[in-house]
Amino acid sequence: MSKTTNIRQEETAPEGGATTHFGFKTVAEGEKAKLVHDVFEHVASRYDLMNDLMSGGLHRAWKQALIDWLNPPRGDRVFNHIDVAGGTGDIAFRILDRAGLNTHVTVCDINPHMLGVGQARAEAQAHGPRVEFVCGDAERLPFPDRSFDAYTIAFGIRNVTHIEQALADAYRVLKPGGRFLCLEFSQVAVPGLDAIYDAYSFSAIPQMGKWVTGDGEPYQYLVESIRRFPPQARFKAMIEAAGFARVQYRNVTGGVAAMHSGWRL
């Protein structure tokens, strides 16, 4: 199927006031956070299962690649990490499994339903006080300046209303010498793979979402929001504009997703 038959066209903007996108819809800026909240409230209890189904388990390899690049300390060093838009705790648990005992991870997410699932998983995995869950907005993190040694955000930043503001706040909460790492869906860089990926994501994913959760709409948003996210080079420039140095990116699975890394000097 061609892109034009698979991808819904943008809908028209509401009149007056600042607007942004919610998937392919144009909405008033003030509405987006509530719409995103409703999506993740709806999917929270099936989120982990759906991740495995939608990606055929690939999200696990991508997350592992992020942890490999982060390379958290394994020894005695005190390491204070924040995982923003951390949802059900997947990134946090992987860091804790790899890092030394003096690593502490704060999972911060705007949605209490996602955090609730994460908290239950943390208890089941007996992570104890090495992990905590805090409800907060990536654009206004409830932490003082220069609090963390490293910051990760996985499949989260495309959901925020003002990406530049989230990047600025990432910079603010990192200590000098701190590391920023983002994992996000991106632009497929392998000829031929893009058409297969479009056909799969626009047809199969919302249908799968409907079977598993009873509603395909949240998954239609997820697929559309991926296409609205800036491609690799443009996102790299945004990270640099926020003040980060030595910004680099690495594609995974031919650019289906990409990891961006930068440092606060």
Report the interface residues with ligand SAM, using CB under 6 A.
36, 40, 84-87, 90-91, 109-111, 114, 137-139, 154-156, 159-160
Give least dist CB 84 to ligand SAM, A. Answer: 6
Give least dist CB 169 to ligand SAM, A. Answer: 10
- 201-208: long-range contacts (C-beta < 8 A, 24 or more apart)? 201/226, 202/6, 202/7, 203/1, 203/6, 205/54, 208/50, 208/53, 208/54
Give least dist CB 214 to ligand SAM, A. Answer: 19
The residue (of 99 and 181) whose beta carbon lies closer to ligand SAM is 181
Residue nearest to ligand SAM (CB): 87
The residue (of 137 and 198) whose beta carbon lies closer to ligand SAM is 137
Q: What is the strand order of the sheet 103-109 is part of?
A: 131-135, 103-109, 79-84, 148-154, 174-185, 257-263, 245-252
The helix-helix angle for 205-213 and 29-43 (nearest 10°) equals 60
Give least dist CB 100 to ligand SAM, A. Answer: 23
The residue (of 90 and 198) whose beta carbon lies closer to ligand SAM is 90
Give least dist CB 92 to ligand SAM, A. Answer: 9
* Measured torsion, CA atoms of residues 71, 109, 50, 239, in degrees rounded to the nearest 10: -50
Residue 103 main-chain phi, psi, to 5 deg: -90, 130
The residue (of 95 and 247) whose beta carbon lies closer to ligand SAM is 95
DSSP annotation of 11 reads P
The residue (of 98 and 195) whose beta carbon lies closer to ligand SAM is 98
Residue 237 neighbours by CB distance under 10 Å? 12
Residue 79 main-chain phi, psi, to 5 deg: -135, 120
Give least dist CB 76 to ligand SAM, A. Answer: 28
The residue (of 143 and 245) whose beta carbon lies closer to ligand SAM is 143
Q: For residue 48, what is the enclosing H or E element?
A: helix 47-55
